């Protein structure tokens, strides 16, 4: 299917898109028309059907085959719709994508698990992944800010564990097993916190009421045995404390070295991902990104600029 | 047994006390003597045995029968020990006491439970109390600040539930059942957070690593059934949010009216108890309490002064 | 008069409304028309008169008799005006209403006053109410957030005193008289802080310069006699400290139990009212309220949802 | 009378001092002796009477004639007492002194008042000073931190008004009259907040319950007339907002230029005085002051060092 | 040239303005037209050329001669453009102006420098001014908030030094030389932080990366000699600490009296300028300014109102 | 020389120690004696010479040969001094040691520098190290908290650069050269902030006035050339922003990915070092460290405990 980024102004296109929202508006002359936001999973485009009249607009998450002319308004592409009908393409096709290679990340996760030499820790991690294998493959990492795409949780989890392992191996007195196990499970509660509704990421009721740290601990508790109990408590503490400070939602602050390392690996991976996503949203010749809320609503210098200076 | 508050300076006493700490010190003249802190469960007194020599001092939590003279130093009573031997009196006798009438409070708890008309909520609460009946009767409410005595958790729980119910009944749109159930369980995680070690209140390892909100949720999750699931989530949310703000250790802030009411009932009961305990520590003719950390390290006007003005 | 909520799209209506704002706008074709916001005291509706031309628009707070067709735009009702003329209906009819039964609340206030056994405290409270009887019946509780309607201050005052009395009666060492007197007067400064300008709630200049805590204290000071002086100071302290913390505008923090209880009763009544008003703004089948600034700009679960789960 | 700073180690002195505190202590050998802290109004010295026995120690604020030897302990002067008897010297002699020339400062205050051209403002200020003339001459500015000495309030008031007037005269759009009037009254509530108890500065009950901003406003309100009402509100706002931020105890923040200028003049005078007092406590060859709580508990470079570098 | 404030609705005007932004928009009927924001250096006005078609809009910072009719829309003046052509007037003419008399301020700066008796301090200051004479005459003081106009830095610098000198002369122990030198250099880093791009104030890359405190210190370091080294460190400390607190961007807090005085003189000048600029933006009969972000987003009472009350 | 940890109670020892402090005290019987704190560079011990009389105590940083008996007091070793005389051993021998292998760390630093492929960045780093080679080898990293020992800065610098490089290599879009260069120079200002005074780490005057971030930037600026200017600005930004937030002393917050990574690598290395030093201060069978200020004054679980659970 034709992607939005490959549409050119002036041409007439036939393609399939998903409806994010649609409503009837009125022109100044009080004539009703259809106004819709359509997505291909990566980008979103506004569309009008000036002859739509007072018909029923398509539902949120509907997938539609369209014919339209690509126009321009205020420097952005728009679609002037001619025809529009229900499509056979599945909704999932349009879910927000971060281009995660799921198989590659599953393999990385397995390698990390296998690197854990402590049997209790390894078994807990393996069981949590096996018991929720399907959720791990698709769950987004968030609703916004960073990793807000299908498989975002898996990507973030593996990337944090990889970075945490690298730091741990450079740190005296640190138990690498515990860092890897804690990192792999630190955000596991997000499996029940975020879900795809059609192509829209939403928070579950449980997610809203309990948030991912609490949910992770509640689920992890089920794996307790008399033998693994002390190990499980250490892992639970890493889950509980990984936001680092109470005001960021952690009911406890880190109390041993491994919890500190997972906290910082989580922070640096999240912040780096925000930067990367912001760079992906601007042209490669831009000096500044858009304003980023997570960085004091400042514009960041782009990595393109940094690399140009450092070439 | 003779209580410390009933000892008079100059008299010789025979009684039984518990050792909170004991060590060998040296006089300026380098002569070794025993220095100990002894408690009757309510008050603590310093004691010296000047002829103790380099013998092994009694262990922490040892219960001892003593003969001693009551002396005074810097305005405080002290004990000059003559004899000291192991006692048959149990350690529990000396645990910090808040004079809680356990049977009365258990009865109040039962009445509150029985007032819950929603079957799922009532069953969850009843089971949590029945499954941990022994712990509920003794667990302290904290290590310090307020309710730091045997059965302190039971007292605080029932008092919060009583206050929360009163507020709820005065508040339109409020579900009283949910307030009562949530209040009765809001601090349940403290059952596994605090414990008596002899006569000393200590935090468990789990308490240090996970704190009582997380522990409560982990334990409560075990009571989930397909039928009670939505009710349980509401109660779990009250547990999770009852500190009101993230920076006070709640991983979520209150998201419905009942959670807000339990939060405020908890706060006002805690603050009132701090005031009451501070008043109990000063004479009834004092105008000011000692400085109280929880109130910006200020001295409060005593309730004795307030009542005198308002008589 | 026909209320906005009882207007149906497509029908032509004759009714009386108040002008909140009105101005001449231009169509894209540069033709002048009237754009106005009209209110019935509860709801607000936008209205256009496309043939109004460059005439003088009606003034803010003007009451007008209109004939109009009810139209719909972006899912909301609008009025297409045909005729519009000055009305005889009084402006007061359109003041924001919280449906407070003033007589009922005056009676409740009297009962609370009569429950005060300390003569000095009772006399002060009674005089403050008698000397400002008319203001008490109408003054709003705020410009926004909660109790922003006629008689909102009376309602909030009585509700806080009722809740504070209930808590006080459950709290050892607490002087109930002082709690009731303090609660009844805690927000008295708002009598001179908020006022109705036509149907719009505004802050007075004094309110802006001194805020209600300071204004309350300044007015209360006038009731000092040699006999009631110590009692008055206790009440003044409750007024001064009822926001609980300096950063919320209290020049002192609570220094005795009764001040703490009034502070929490005030907080829980305010927060509950915010929830109730937010629930009143959504349909009874909604799961979430709109975002609420006072709760971290989060959407709350509705009380309708809570009651459905707890039924 | 001989001042402490003029006592030399080894000599025997006869002088008169005030008792700040006194108690019976025990030597290691359990022999009772008198331990006292004595002041000459500027400095404080520790004293022991080794032969005092179990007699009644002198009361706080007692003035005593003593004969003693000056000794040294840990680098500080001490007094070994031989005789001690009640003195005829008045307690006031020993009140903490900041060497304020009261007549000079009263004259400065009068000149500032006379510079006010607005009749209402000038009359209010003059009346407040005349009605409380005696209190103005003696009241301390605080219990500690800065200006904690007799007439400290008068000195601070005049110094702030002088600085504020200088800034105002350099600031376009500023009404100098209002700045001078507001500055002269900004701390007037301290007249009823601090008092001398013998030679000890204490907070009054009213001061503890209401603090000086509230007390100032309550007292100032009594001067309202129909004619001066608008002017009085402006002055009251300066009183109310002079701490600049709610968290520093101001119930309102500054809302016009003159309030801002008084706030900053107050701040810079207070901070400068802290520096000056800290410099006065160290030798003139010191590079650093002691740690100062008001400056993040840091040591400041001394002004002696600054002048040496800048000479 | 005709200024925007002197244009009257209905008349046809010929004048020269600068383009702040310009783009092609579409009418509802999809007809392209030119929409532009034009400035005379003080005020900005919106303009439309309805017959512009799809021509290339003028560039940002272009200076144009226009003929237009002055219209009104939503209470504001607009321009309906008839002709528009490139002008010979220079861009600098339209840079934001604060009506600073540069020669007067340069003279004031020189007088302040000459008042410094310490040779090292005076030489440093004189050199910094001489070496950057051209930048001092034009650099703005900021991008917004206050002093955001040509020569704003010079005006702020001199005004702060004048106020700081006045305070210093009223403060015992204070070295006036150091205050004047520190005040004159406190914001010198802004010379390389802000720059005019045409008529638009922008931050330099260095400004964004290092901010003016760091930049000032880096540049000032170049003036170090063995003889002036200790003096330079004192001045550098004033530069470093002049924001008063770390959270406002100062890497150190003030450590001696002179640094404190410069900090407060800077604060009060900045706050006063914000007030003055806000008053200049409203009519002289207004009671309130617009909301001001720097004052908690509150509206301030105007100085016109203050003077009316105080007349 | 005999180390303090190898002294046994009861034995008589001859060794060389450094005086950290020494003063004359008085016994209760008013007999003067010497009280001193002595260090071997790692540990500190208290010592008394009861027969010292009123002689001149040894100076701070004096190195002394002693003969003494090892005694015990309150569970800690003490020295009862018999003879004490000036030693030939150098003061440097007793400087606080972190057992840093300087040659190893210099080699690591060189390898990191050589890994930088950008010529400008590499040259700047190499010059900064070469120009200050001697300081790099000895300067401590702090006065306390962590790395407060000789060569602590070198160790921290290399460890941060190593960790930052590892993270950078795992992060898409990241310029590893810039991370390594920035990490190696991020704390360079500490070369002029901390210094050894004998065996005591002190802050320089410049360090107190300007702190290490400002000092680093001032020194780094000297390396600017027309060619390396843009690269130098990027490195200067990393120096400026490496504390991450303004309230921690950074005048700017990170504005590109590499600055973020250096900030987190710095944080995790500092926090890990605090943990490691705290573990080194307790026995290997301890479950908890002492309270640590940097972690909310909490006791941490020891790494010994973690490893025991995870074995």
Q: pLDDT tens-digit profile of E79-138?
A: 999 999 999 998 888 888 888 999 999 999 999 999 999 999 999 999 999 999 999 999
User: Which positions in chain C touch B296 (Cβ < 8 Å)?
Assistant: 253
Sign of CA dihedral B11, B15, B18, B23: positive
Q: Which residue has the higher pLDDT, D234 or E99?
A: D234
**Exposed/middle/buried for residue C292 (C-beta within 10 Å: 0-12, 13-18, 19+):** middle
* pLDDT exceeds 70 at position F307: yes
Record the pTM. Answer: 0.89
Q: Which residue has the higher pLDDT, E200 or C159?
A: C159
In DSSP terms, C16 is beta-bridged to C65
Element (H, E) at C25: strand C12-26
Query: How far is residue F300's CA from residue A255's CA, in Å, rounded to a whole number?
Result: 5
Q: Where are the domains of chain A?
A: 4-94, 102-274, 281-309
The rounded mean pLDDT for chain D is 93
Contact between residue A66 and residue A52 where contact means Cβ atoms under 8 Å apart: no
| ipTM rounded to 2 decimals | 0.87
CA distance E116 to chain D (A): 11
User: Which positions in chain E touch A10 (Cβ < 8 Å)?
Assistant: none
Q: What is the dihedral of CA B276, B280, B286, B288, to 10 degrees?
A: -40
Q: Which residue has the higher pLDDT, A99 or C101?
A: C101
3-state secondary structure of E82: strand
Residue with tokens 């006399």: C123
**A155-174 per-position pLDDT tens digit:** 999 999 999 999 999 999 99
* pLDDT exceeds 90 at position C254: yes
Contact between residue D32 and residue D54 where contact means Cβ atoms under 8 Å apart: yes
pLDDT category of residue B309 using cuts at 50, 70 and 90: very high
User: Which positions in chain A touch C73 (Cβ < 8 Å)?
Assistant: 26
Give the least confident one: A147-156, A287-296, C3-12. C3-12
- Calculate Rg over the CA atoms of chain E: 23
Q: Output the pLDDT for position E53.
A: 82
| Greatest mean pLDDT range, A279-283, C157-161, D42-46, E200-204 | C157-161
pLDDT category of residue A44 using cuts at 50, 70 and 90: confident
* pLDDT exceeds 90 at position A9: no
Domains C4-94 and C102-274 share a fold: no
What's the token pair of residue E148?
């955001």
For residue B67, which of B40, B91, B85 has the smallest C-alpha distance?
B85
Please check whether residue E175 touches D, CB under 8 A.
yes
**C54-71 per-position pLDDT tens digit:** 788 999 889 999 999 998
Sign of CA dihedral D176, D182, D185, D186: negative
Q: Which residue has the higher pLDDT, C235 or F50?
A: C235
Q: Output the pLDDT for position A29.
A: 65
What CATH fold (topology level) applies to the domain A102-274?
Hypothetical protein af1432 (1.10.3210)
Q: Which of D206, D234, D240 sits opposite C214 (nearest CB)?
A: D240
CA distance C259 to chain D (A): 11
What's the token pair of residue F274?
């605090």
Query: How far is residue C39's CA from residue C201's CA, in Å, rounded to a whole number?
Result: 14
CA distance B261 to chain D (A): 26
Query: How far is residue A117's CA from residue E40's CA, in Å, rounded to a whole number?
Result: 73
Using the beta-carbon criterion (under 8 Å), do F217 and E213 form an inter-chain contact? no
* pLDDT exceeds 90 at position B139: yes
Interface probe for B, chosen from D21, D26, D197, D293 (most Cβ of B below 10 Å), is: D26
- CA A13 to chain CA centroid, Å, is 30
Q: Which of B27, B28, B74 sits opposite D25 (nearest CB)?
A: B74
For residue F121, which of F265, F270, F258, F269 has the smallest C-alpha distance?
F258
- CA C309 to chain CA centroid, Å, is 31
What's the token pair of residue E41?
């250096």
Query: How far is residue A57's CA from residue A47's CA, in Å, rounded to a whole number?
Result: 12
CA distance B303 to chain C (A): 6
Q: Output the pLDDT for position F130.
A: 97
Q: Output the pLDDT for position A28.
A: 62
User: Which positions in chain D touch C222 (Cβ < 8 Å)?
Assistant: 221
**F84-102 per-position pLDDT tens digit:** 999 999 888 888 888 899 9
Contact between residue C122 and residue C116 where contact means Cβ atoms under 8 Å apart: yes
Neighbours of C, requiring at least 3 CB pairs below 8 Å, are: A, B, D, E
Please check whether residue B294 touches C, CB under 8 A.
no
Q: Output the pLDDT for position B197.
A: 84
The rounded mean pLDDT for chain C is 93
Chain A residue closest in CA terms to B250: A251
In DSSP terms, D80 is beta-bridged to D48, D69
User: Which positions in chain D touch C208 (Cβ < 8 Å)?
Assistant: 252, 255
User: Which positions in chain A touch C28 (Cβ < 8 Å)?
Assistant: 28
User: Which positions in chain F touch E240 (Cβ < 8 Å)?
Assistant: 209-211, 214
Query: How far is residue F187's CA from residue E81's CA, in Å, rounded to a whole number?
Result: 59
Longest pairwise C-alpha distance within chain B? 75
Q: Which of B27, B74, B301 sits opposite D28 (nearest CB)?
A: B27
Query: How far is residue E217's CA from residue F214's CA, in Å, rounded to a whole number?
Result: 7
**D28-65 per-position pLDDT tens digit:** 667 788 999 999 877 889 999 988 887 889 998 899 99
Q: Output the pLDDT for position D28.
A: 62
| B and F touch per CB criterion (3+ pairs under 8 A) | yes
**D256-280 per-position pLDDT tens digit:** 999 999 999 999 999 999 999 999 9
Please check whether residue A23 touches C, CB under 8 A.
yes
**φ, ψ for residue B269, nearest 5 deg:** -70, -40
**F195-230 per-position pLDDT tens digit:** 988 888 999 999 999 999 999 999 999 999 999 999
Contact between residue E118 and residue E232 where contact means Cβ atoms under 8 Å apart: no
Please check whether residue D100 touches E, CB under 8 A.
no
Using the beta-carbon criterion (under 8 Å), do B240 and A211 form an inter-chain contact? yes
| D and E touch per CB criterion (3+ pairs under 8 A) | yes
Please check whether residue F180 touches E, CB under 8 A.
no
* pLDDT exceeds 80 at position D27: no
Please check whether residue E301 touches C, CB under 8 A.
yes
Q: What percent of chain C has pLDDT over 90?
A: 75
As a whole number, mean pLDDT of residues F283-301 equals 93
Contacts with A, C 66-95, CB within 8 Å: 73-75
Using the beta-carbon criterion (under 8 Å), do A260 and F271 form an inter-chain contact? yes
The rounded mean pLDDT for chain B is 93
Neighbours of E, requiring at least 3 CB pairs below 8 Å, are: A, C, D, F
Q: Output the pLDDT for position A40.
A: 87
Q: Output the pLDDT for position C75.
A: 63
- Calculate Rg over the CA atoms of chain B: 23
- Is A4-94 a CATH 3.40.50.720 domain? no
Q: At what angle do helices C119-131 and C102-114 cross, to 10 degrees?
A: 160
For residue C158, which of C123, C113, C121 has the smallest C-alpha distance?
C113
* pLDDT exceeds 90 at position E173: yes
Contact between residue E33 and residue E49 where contact means Cβ atoms under 8 Å apart: yes
**A107-132 per-position pLDDT tens digit:** 999 999 999 999 999 999 999 999 99
**φ, ψ for residue A239, nearest 5 deg:** -60, -50
Q: D-E interface: how many C-beta pairs under 8 angstroms? A: 129
As a whole number, mean pLDDT of residues D189-218 equals 94
Query: How far is residue F186's CA from residue F193's CA, in Å, rounded to a whole number?
Result: 13
- Calculate Rg over the CA atoms of chain C: 23
3-state secondary structure of D39: strand
| Interacting residues of D239 by C-beta distance below 8 A, sequence separation 6+ | D182, D185, D186, D188, D189, D213, D216, D217, D220
Q: Output the pLDDT for position B29.
A: 65
Q: Output the pLDDT for position D104.
A: 97
């Amino acid at each position: 299917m034709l992607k939005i980024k490959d549409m050119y102004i002036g041409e007439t296109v036939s393609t399939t898109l998903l409806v994010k929202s649609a409503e009837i508006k009125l022109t100044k002359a009080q004539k009703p028309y259809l106004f819709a936001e359509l997505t291909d999973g990566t980008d979103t485009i506004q569309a009008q059907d000036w002859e739509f009249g007072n018909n029923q607009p398509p539902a949120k998450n509907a997938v539609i085959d369209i014919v339209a002319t690509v126009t321009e308004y205020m420097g952005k592409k728009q679609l002037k719709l001619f025809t529009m009908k229900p499509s056979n393409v599945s909704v999932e096709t349009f879910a927000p994508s971060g281009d995660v290679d799921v198989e590659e990340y599953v393999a990385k996760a397995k390698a990390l698990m296998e690197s854990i030499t402590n049997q209790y820790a390894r078994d807990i991690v393996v069981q949590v992944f096996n018991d929720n294998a399907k959720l791990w493959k698709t769950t987004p990492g968030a609703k916004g800010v960073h990793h807000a795409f299908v498989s975002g949780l898996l990507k973030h989890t593996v990337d944090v564990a990889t970075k945490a392992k690298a730091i741990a191996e450079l740190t005296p007195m640190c138990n690498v097993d515990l860092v890897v196990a804690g990192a792999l499970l630190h955000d596991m509660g997000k499996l029940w916190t975020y879900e795809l509704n059609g192509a829209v990421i939403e928070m579950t009721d449980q997610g809203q009421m309990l948030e991912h740290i609490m949910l992770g601990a509640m689920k992890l508790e089920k794996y307790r045995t008399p033998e693994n109990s002390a190990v499980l408590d250490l892992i639970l503490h890493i889950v509980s404390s990984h936001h680092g400070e109470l005001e960021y939602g952690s009911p406890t602050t880190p109390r041993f070295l491994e919890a500190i390392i997972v906290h910082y690996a989580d922070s640096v991976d999240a912040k780096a991902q925000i930067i990367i996503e912001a760079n992906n949203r601007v042209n490669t010749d831009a000096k500044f990104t858009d304003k980023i809320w997570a960085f004091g609503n400042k514009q960041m210098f782009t990595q393109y600029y940094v690399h140009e200076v450092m070439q």
